[in-house]
């Protein structure tokens, strides 16, 4: 039973446009949510996070929105750049560990 779900395996966006990556979760007790970015042949790197007591966190071109009633979070990238092409994982903090979604591959084309 997946507690963290990313239902879109891939997303293709034109450079300069907005990229929206979605994530759903089932456990209302998660206290932090994180987004990681992963390039091929590299380890995941932390991108941005949000506490469960907030509904928005912004860092430059990246904004994460949290809708607790819907158990849904999204990552917005504006404007999208070719260097943003990667796999994005959302994760939820569960006591001493993170539970990851299956990832969404973002491709940003010129």
Partner 1 sequence: NAGVTQTPKFRVLKTGQSMTLLCAQDMNHEYMYWYRQDPGMGLRLIHYSVGEGTTAKGEVPDGYNVSRLKKQNFLLGLESAAPSQTSVYFCASSYPRLASDEQFFGPGTRLTVL
Confirm or reject binding of residue 11 to partner 1 (CB under 8 A). no
C-alpha distances in Å from residue 20, one per residue of 10, 31, 41, 45, 95: 11, 22, 24, 19, 28
Confirm or reject binding of residue 89 to partner 1 (CB under 8 A). yes
Stretch that binds partner 1, among 11-19, 21-29, 68-76, 85-93 (CB under 8 A): 85-93
> Which residue number, 15 or 99, has a Cβ lying nearer to partner 1?
99
Confirm or reject binding of residue 27 to partner 1 (CB under 8 A). no
> Which of 12, 51, 67, 81: binder of partner 1 (CB under 8 A)?
51
> Which of 8, 22, 74, 102: binder of partner 1 (CB under 8 A)?
102
* Residue 79 preceded by cis peptide, ω within 30: yes
Do residues 3 and 99 lie in contact, with contact meaning Cβ atoms separated by under 8 Å?
yes
Residue 64 makes CB contacts below 8 A (sequence gap 6+) with 33, 35, 48, 49, 50, 56, 57, 58, 73, 74, 75, 76
Closest distance to partner 1 from the beta carbon of 89 (Å):
6
Interacting residues with partner 1 (CB under 8 A): 6, 9, 32, 34, 36, 41-46, 49-51, 89, 91, 93, 96-103
């Amino acid at each position: 039973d997946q507690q963290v779900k990313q239902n879109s395996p891939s997303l293709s966006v034109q450079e300069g446009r907005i990229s929206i990556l979605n994530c759903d979760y089932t456990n209302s007790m998660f206290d932090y949510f994180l987004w990681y970015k992963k390039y091929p042949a590299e380890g995941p790197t932390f991108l941005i996070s949000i506490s469960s007591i907030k509904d928005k966190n912004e860092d430059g071109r990246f904004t994460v929105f949290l809708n607790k009633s819907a158990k849904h979070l999204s990552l917005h990238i504006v404007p999208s750049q070719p260097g943003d092409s990667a796999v994005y994982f959302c994760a939820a903090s569960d006591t001493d560990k993170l539970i990851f979604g299956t990832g969404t591959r973002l491709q940003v084309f010129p």
